Amino acid sequence: MANLNITLEGKVCVCELNRPHAMNSIDPEMREELYAFYARIKEDDDIHVVIFTGAGDKAFCTGADLKKTLPDTNVSYAQQLLGQGDPGSAFKGLETDKPILCAVNGYALAGGTELLLACDIAIASENAKFGLTEVRRGTIPWGGSIQRLPRSIAKTDAMLLLLTGDTIDAHEALRMGLVSKVVPHAELMPTALAIGHRIANNAPLAVRAVKQLVTRGGDLPLVHALAVDKYMYGLLKDSEDRIEGRKAFAEKRDPVWKMK
């Protein structure tokens, strides 16, 4: 049985983490499959939008499978600090300018919340639970959450989650801004797919440009970020897709994008 169920619905690719017997935790085999999938996202022009979700009704992802990812006792503390003998984060290589959504169908703990934070849009079912529980296991979140979380929600809420290791429900996650929507469980995937298809129907060069600008602009002073926006607008101004978009609007028809 594959650790990932990958299906393409039009231009939207759904990646289902498929270890429901282990709460969709990530073991070394799944991690390698994820790395291969990240490479496919970047290389496959048929994929415009990605949705991550979990198999079953209980868990989205509960992070690393602790039974199968115990530390290597033969690697010294100094070697660990230098990254030697370390396989790397399960989310290494996920960086892409294609939009990524997650449909959180249950527990999103530790690496599950880290995966959510590496995505652009998060939709949660009413039974979803969230938490960065690593401090309760003697370690820290190292998939990017320590830096991403305070950039996504209020610092006080971020510190509350990071320092206590507490678990919160979907409605508290919505209040914090950790997720965009909370829907009944039966509506989770239809809602995520509907959003995914709305994004995929837009001009792909413009969509990817927007994501690039948001990602890069967050680390720039506002005046510099606005200059990069202006530069990107200039690159797209005379593109075939921008001209097609204006023609289609005037002719009251759906545009045909060429990614040119």
Give me the active site residues, please: 114, 134
H-only helix segments in the chain: 28-43, 77-81, 111-118, 145-152, 155-164, 170-176, 188-200, 204-217, 222-237, 240-250
Q: Name the DSSP class of 166.
A: -
Coarse DSSP helix, strand, coil percentages of the chain, rounded to the nearest 5 percent: 45, 15, 40
Give which of 61, 50, 195 is closest to 131, Cα–Cα: 61
Q: Which residues contact 19 (CB under 8 A, 6 or more apart)?
A: 3, 25, 27, 30, 55, 65
C-alpha dihedral (4, 39, 213, 60), degrees to nearest 10? 10
Give which of 140, 34, 15, 147 is closest to 92, Cα–Cα: 34
CA distance 37 to 236: 29
Tokens 């996650």 identify what position?
A: 173
Give which of 86, 110, 101 is closest to 23, Cα–Cα: 110
